[in-house]
Chains A and B, each alone.
Chain A
Amino acid sequence: MTRPSSRATFWALLVAAVAVAALLGLAIGPVRLTPWEAWAALTGDGDITSVAIMRDIRAPRVALAALIGAALAMSGAALQGTMRNALAEPYLLGVSGGAAVGAVVALAMRAPYGLVPVGAFGGAVAAVILVLAIARAGGGRPDPRVLLMAGVVVGAFANAVIMIALASSPPDATRNALWWMMGSVAAATWAQVAWLAVYALLAGGALLVFAPEIDVLALGDEAAAGLGVTVERAGRRAYVLASLLAAATVAAAGLVGFVGLVVPHLVRARAGRQHRAVIAAAGLAGAALVIGADLVARTLRAPNELPLGAVTALGGVPFFLAQLRRFR
């Protein structure tokens, strides 16, 4: 067991990692600023250009990256406990596929931007319902393994729908949708940040409140029922909240893979293994990592940008391989 002092160090490190990542994200860019200058510009103390760069471009971008990382990692941490599966994450369970379908359909129909998250969320919920229905049809109560397989099937189905939607849209809508699916926070606005912050605070906060129930669900259905938990309702609640979080990120920044899968495993043991701490720690670590990934995405081949989803996936593979050694 980790000692309380090392536990405190761990949390301090997480907070410091977010702060450092945010400062670097603010300071590094085509116009290079020291962290001090960045801070000055952010507080409105500096030349007009720096203030504009900071306040209108970099700060919302860093904030959006942080929210996306936090939301995806919290979603993954909650789903892994609820589904009793180390591979559970919003993307594998069809949630992101459904959200992508909803968002692409909304984009293809030229819906106002504010409706894209609504489309994505609708798509995610549709996917969740479809996954649950398929898993149930597979026999009795939803077995986590069957749920995962159902998620893969729904994901494939979502891909098909996306391809059809893209093939039948005008070229510029297709191009927008393709870029959107590769994941990016380049076009971050404060409005987007505010939207996602509301989703993330409500759904993420609710997950933290219900986290002790996830500890119990992680024991298995019968043990959880024996501890007074209404298993189906509690499981559905965690699943819906986690999918709400994931859906909001997909709507705001497209597909940013691997964060929900890998980050919870990185923090689980050090956070003390109880879900309230694991979810909170995953949120902080996810925020720091996605801010960092976005920094890489926009500086590695500047002035061109790499898709954020590609960077997180490339970075996630070695992390995941390192984790695999522990599963034996």
Chain B
Amino acid sequence: MIRFEGVVVRYPRASAPAVDGVSFEVPRATITAIAGPNGSGKSTLVRTLLGRVAMSAGTIYVDGDDAARLERRELARRVAIVSQREEPAFPVSVRDYIALGRHPHTTLWGGADPDGPEAVARAVNEAEVGAFVDRTTDELSGGEWQRVRIARALAQDARTLVLDEPTTYLDIAHEMAAFELLDALARAGRAILVVSHQLNLVARFAQQVVLLHRGRVAAAGTPGDVMRGDVLEQVYEWPLVVTRDPAVGAPALLPLRGGRKQ
């Protein structure tokens, strides 16, 4: 479980803060989605959680504790993050790659991780990557790769899972499969935070959507609360309509042609 409270991030030499007083909570057993235009502060929030970017104000709580005060390995045991473009410099076996998720549970001298093999086996099952664990990472397709990254994060055995744009470059089937996997993981009790541009998918899978605009929360709540034509039009600065998906009843976004000229 993560709680962002009044988080402010200023990049040096930037005129406006990248994140400006963002507060929301990522509860257990749900999918929370962060959406918003490019540059609205989504990835900055993830980097802040990682401790890669310093906060000027605010606090991030992980399972009730201030994340900034947690030891890095302890934080990694509580929150697993699949960042954008995570890939080893040189191909490794998929099994070894997934086992890297055990790093926060090990000591440098090896040993001391009795749960390791079981956690890796569980992650392989949950992410359904058993068919290609014996390959190397350069032999995976885009969809397989994304499942393997998620398996790596699952092996970390953290109660919260954060994914930064997990379905970029995936086709419709793999995109759906990835979200179905996240849905199953949330049902199993994990807190899931997913940064995504795929508003229509988010509307169908997430229980909560946080819409960011210029570093602030423009709207937050259920997909139905957030996915309103007037709100989205203002945030994305593009004409659009929100209808109701005739098949499943979820809000569906349809951008219109003829928006502002660049």
Let me know if B80 and A212 touch, CB within 8 A: no
Let me know if B136 and A221 touch, CB within 8 A: no
Given A81-B89, A219-B88, A221-B52, residue A226 in contact with residue B109 (CB < 8 A):
no
Interface string of A1-39 (1 = CB under 8 A from B): 100000000000000000000000000000000000000
For B137, give the chain A residue with the smallest CB separation.
Answer: A273
Q: Indicate whether A300 reaches chain B with its CB closer than 8 angstroms.
A: no
A–B Cβ pairs within 8 angstroms, 28 of them: A80-B90, A84-B89, A85-B89, A86-B89, A86-B90, A210-B108, A212-B103, A212-B106, A212-B110, A213-B103, A215-B100, A216-B103, A218-B88, A222-B50, A222-B86, A225-B50, A225-B51, A225-B52, A225-B72, A226-B81, A226-B83, A227-B100, A229-B103, A230-B72, A272-B96, A273-B90, A273-B91, A273-B96
What residues on B are CB-neighbors of A215 within 8 Å? 88, 92, 96, 100, 103
* Least Cβ–Cβ distance between A138 and chain B, in angstroms: 15
Q: Indicate whether A270 reaches chain B with its CB closer than 8 angstroms.
A: no
Q: Indicate whether A209 reaches chain B with its CB closer than 8 angstroms.
A: yes
For B93, give the chain A residue with the smallest CB separation.
Answer: A1
For B89, give the chain A residue with the smallest CB separation.
Answer: A84
CA–CA, A209 and B75, complex, Å = 23
Q: Pick from A210, A223, A228: contact of B104, CB below 8 A.
A: A228
For A276, give the chain B residue with the smallest CB separation.
Answer: B110
Given A80-B89, A210-B108, residue A223 in contact with residue B83 (CB < 8 A):
yes
Within 8 A of B (CB), among A195-240: 209-210, 212-213, 215-216, 218-223, 225-230
Let me know if A209 and B108 touch, CB within 8 A: yes
Q: Indicate whether B47 reaches chain A with its CB closer than 8 angstroms.
A: yes
Q: Indicate whether A136 reaches chain B with its CB closer than 8 angstroms.
A: no
What residues on A are CB-neighbors of B156 within 8 Å? 227
Q: Pick from A219, A228, A272: contact of B75, CB below 8 A.
A: A228
CA–CA, A222 and B106, complex, Å = 19
Let me know if A226 and B108 touch, CB within 8 A: no
Q: Indicate whether B28 reaches chain A with its CB closer than 8 angstroms.
A: no
Q: Indicate whether B230 reaches chain A with its CB closer than 8 angstroms.
A: no
CA–CA, A215 and B93, complex, Å = 12
Let me know if A227 and B83 touch, CB within 8 A: no
Q: Pick from B75, B77, B79, B86: contact of A223, CB below 8 A.
A: B86
* Least Cβ–Cβ distance between A267 and chain B, in angstroms: 12
Q: Indicate whether B237 reaches chain A with its CB closer than 8 angstroms.
A: no
What residues on A are CB-neighbors of B92 within 8 Å? 215, 273-274
Q: Indicate whether B67 reaches chain A with its CB closer than 8 angstroms.
A: no
Q: Indicate whether B85 reaches chain A with its CB closer than 8 angstroms.
A: yes
* Least Cβ–Cβ distance between A143 and chain B, in angstroms: 13
Let me know if B88 and A228 touch, CB within 8 A: no
Which one of A218, A219, A223, A226 has the highest number of Cβ atoms from chain B below 10 Å of its Cβ?
Answer: A226
* Least Cβ–Cβ distance between A300 and chain B, in angstroms: 34
CA–CA, A272 and B97, complex, Å = 12
Q: Indicate whether B116 reaches chain A with its CB closer than 8 angstroms.
A: no
Let me know if A216 and B100 touch, CB within 8 A: yes
Q: Indicate whether B22 reaches chain A with its CB closer than 8 angstroms.
A: no
Let me know if A273 and B93 touch, CB within 8 A: yes
For B81, give the chain A residue with the smallest CB separation.
Answer: A226
What residues on B are CB-neighbors of A272 within 8 Å? 93, 96
Let me know if B87 and A219 touch, CB within 8 A: yes
Let me know if A220 and B96 touch, CB within 8 A: no
What residues on A are CB-neighbors of B104 within 8 Å? 227-228
What residues on A are CB-neighbors of B95 within 8 Å? 1
Let me know if B103 and A222 touch, CB within 8 A: no
Given A85-B89, A210-B108, A273-B93, residue A222 in contact with residue B76 (CB < 8 A):
no
Interface string of A94-126 (1 = CB under 8 A from B): 000000000000000000000000000000000
What residues on A are CB-neighbors of B88 within 8 Å? 215, 218-219
Within 8 A of A (CB), among B16-73: 47, 50-52, 72-73
Q: Indicate whether B101 reaches chain A with its CB closer than 8 angstroms.
A: yes
* Least Cβ–Cβ distance between B76 and chain A, in angstroms: 3
Let me know if A228 and B72 touch, CB within 8 A: yes
For B46, give the chain A residue with the smallest CB separation.
Answer: A222
CA–CA, A221 and B83, complex, Å = 10
Let me know if B90 and A218 touch, CB within 8 A: yes
Q: Indicate whether B171 reaches chain A with its CB closer than 8 angstroms.
A: no
Interface string of A68-91 (1 = CB under 8 A from B): 000000000000110111100000
Q: Indicate whether B134 reaches chain A with its CB closer than 8 angstroms.
A: yes
CA–CA, A220 and B47, complex, Å = 13
* Least Cβ–Cβ distance between A20 and chain B, in angstroms: 29
* Least Cβ–Cβ distance between B66 and chain A, in angstroms: 17
* Least Cβ–Cβ distance between B95 and chain A, in angstroms: 8
CA–CA, A226 and B101, complex, Å = 9
* Least Cβ–Cβ distance between A122 and chain B, in angstroms: 28
Let me know if B103 and A273 touch, CB within 8 A: no
CA–CA, A1 and B95, complex, Å = 10
Let me know if B103 and A1 touch, CB within 8 A: no
Let me know if A268 and B83 touch, CB within 8 A: no
CA–CA, A218 and B89, complex, Å = 5
